[in-house]
Amino acid sequence: MRELIQHPLITVRDKKHVPFTFNGDPYFGNENDAVSSALIANDIHIFSYHHKNHAPQGIFCANGQCSHCTVLIDGLPQKSCITPLKEGMDIRTLDGLPELPGVAEPIGETRDHKETCDVLVIGGGPSGLTASLELAEAGFSVILADDKAALGGKLLLQTHKFFGSTEDCYAGTRGLDIAALLGEKVRRHPGIRVMNNTMIAGIYKDRKAGAFVNNRTYKIIDFKGLLVASGARERSLLFPGNPLPGIYGAGAFQTLVNRDGIKAADRLFIVGSGNVGLIAAYHALQAGIRVKGICDILPRPGGYKVHADKIRRMGVPLYLRHTILHAGGTEKLERVTIAGVGAGQRPLLDTAKTFEVDTLLIAVGLAPVDENYDTAASFGFPVVKTGDADEIAEASSAMFGGRIAGLNMAKRLGRKIRIDPSFHEKAEILKSPPGTTFPKQKTVLDERFRPVIHCVQEIPCNPCETVCPVHAIRLKKRRGNILDVPEYTGGCTGCMKCVAVCPGLAISLARRIGETKAEIILPYEFIPDFTDGDKLDLMNMEGDFLEKGTVKKLRYYKPGRTTLVTLEVSLGNAPDIAGIRVQPEAETRPSKTTSFNYLPDDAILCRCEMITVKQVRDFIREHHVRDMNQLKALRVGMGSCGGRNCSLLLPRIFRELNIPPEAIVENTRRPLSVEIPIHVLANEKHRDSGEG
pLDDT > 90? residue 572: yes
pLDDT tens digit string along 443-471? 999 999 999 999 999 999 999 999 999 99
142 vs 134: CA distance, rounded Å: 10
pLDDT > 70? residue 680: yes
pLDDT at 12: 75
In Å, how far are 199, 265, 334, 344, 410 from 195, measured between CA atoms? 9, 33, 41, 49, 21
559 vs 414: CA distance, rounded Å: 43
Asked if residue 168 lies in contact with residue 119, where contact means CB atoms within 8 angstroms, the answer is: no
Q: Which band of pLDDT confidence, cut at 50, 70 and 90, is reported for residue 159?
A: very high
In Å, how far are 92, 239, 293, 319, 357 from 590, measured between CA atoms? 36, 20, 9, 12, 10
The residues pairing with 462 across neighbouring beta strands, listed in sequence order, are: none
* Residue 214 Cα to chain centre, angstroms: 23
Average pLDDT of every residue of the chain = 91
382 vs 390: CA distance, rounded Å: 16
pLDDT > 60? residue 216: yes
3-state secondary structure of 488: strand
pLDDT at 687: 41
Asked if residue 34 lies in contact with residue 148, where contact means CB atoms within 8 angstroms, the answer is: no
Q: Which band of pLDDT confidence, cut at 50, 70 and 90, is reported for residue 690?
A: very low
Q: Which band of pLDDT confidence, cut at 50, 70 and 90, is reported for residue 640?
A: confident
Residue 25 makes CB contacts below 8 A (sequence gap 6+) with none
pLDDT at 291: 98
pLDDT > 70? residue 598: no
Percentage of the chain lying above the pLDDT 90 cut: 74
3-state secondary structure of 450: strand
pLDDT tens digit string along 306-331? 999 999 999 999 999 999 999 999 99
Q: Comparing C-alpha atoms, which of 145, 152, 142 is closest to residue 182?
A: 152
421 C-beta neighbours (distance < 10 Å), count = 8
pLDDT at 423: 86
Tally the C-alpha atoms within 13 A of residue 269's C-alpha that lie toward its C-beta. Answer: 29
Q: CA-CA-CA-CA torsion for 174, 176, 177, 179, nearest 10 degrees?
A: 120
Q: What is the phi/psi pair of residue 9, to 5°?
A: -130, -20
pLDDT > 60? residue 37: yes
Asked if residue 408 lies in contact with residue 419, where contact means CB atoms within 8 angstroms, the answer is: yes
DSSP 414: T
- Sorted by where each starts, the structural domains of the chain and their CATH numbers stand as 17-98+236-362 (3.50.50.60), 114-232+368-430 (3.50.50.60), 450-588 (no CATH), 599-692 (no CATH)
3-state secondary structure of 48: strand
pLDDT > 80? residue 683: no
Which carries the bigger pLDDT value, residue 160 or residue 676?
160
Average pLDDT over residues 93-122: 81
Residue 285 makes CB contacts below 8 A (sequence gap 6+) with 291, 314, 316, 526, 582, 583
1 C-beta neighbours (distance < 10 Å), count = 14
Q: Which band of pLDDT confidence, cut at 50, 70 and 90, is reported for residue 689?
A: very low
Name the least confident of 62-66, 175-179, 218-222, 388-392. Answer: 62-66
298 C-beta neighbours (distance < 10 Å), count = 15
Average pLDDT over residues 564-583: 97
Asked if residue 357 lies in contact with residue 659, where contact means CB atoms within 8 angstroms, the answer is: no
Asked if residue 659 lies in contact with residue 651, where contact means CB atoms within 8 angstroms, the answer is: no
Q: Is 662 exposed, middle or buried (0-12, 13-18, 19+ CB in 10 A)?
A: exposed
Residue 554 makes CB contacts below 8 A (sequence gap 6+) with 528, 531, 532, 563, 564, 565, 566
pLDDT > 60? residue 408: yes
Which carries the bigger pLDDT value, residue 645 or residue 502?
502
pLDDT tens digit string along 512-539? 999 999 999 999 999 999 999 999 999 9
pLDDT > 90? residue 99: no
Average pLDDT over residues 400-407: 94
135 vs 410: CA distance, rounded Å: 6
Query: Model's pTM, two decimal places?
Result: 0.90
pLDDT tens digit string along 136-157? 999 999 999 999 999 999 999 9
180 C-beta neighbours (distance < 10 Å), count = 17
Average pLDDT over residues 610-618: 90
Q: Which amino acid, one-letter code, is at 336?
A: V
Q: Report how far apart the first and last C-alpha atoms of the chain are (Å, whole number).
A: 36
Average pLDDT over residues 418-434: 89
pLDDT > 90? residue 247: yes
pLDDT at 691: 46
Average pLDDT over residues 200-227: 93
Average pLDDT over residues 573-597: 91
* Residue 691 Cα to chain centre, angstroms: 35
Q: Which pairing describes strands 217-222 and 114-116: parallel, antiparallel, or unpaired?
A: parallel
Q: Which band of pLDDT confidence, cut at 50, 70 and 90, is reported for residue 8?
A: very high
Asked if residue 60 lies in contact with residue 83, where contact means CB atoms within 8 angstroms, the answer is: no
pLDDT > 60? residue 688: no
pLDDT at 5: 87
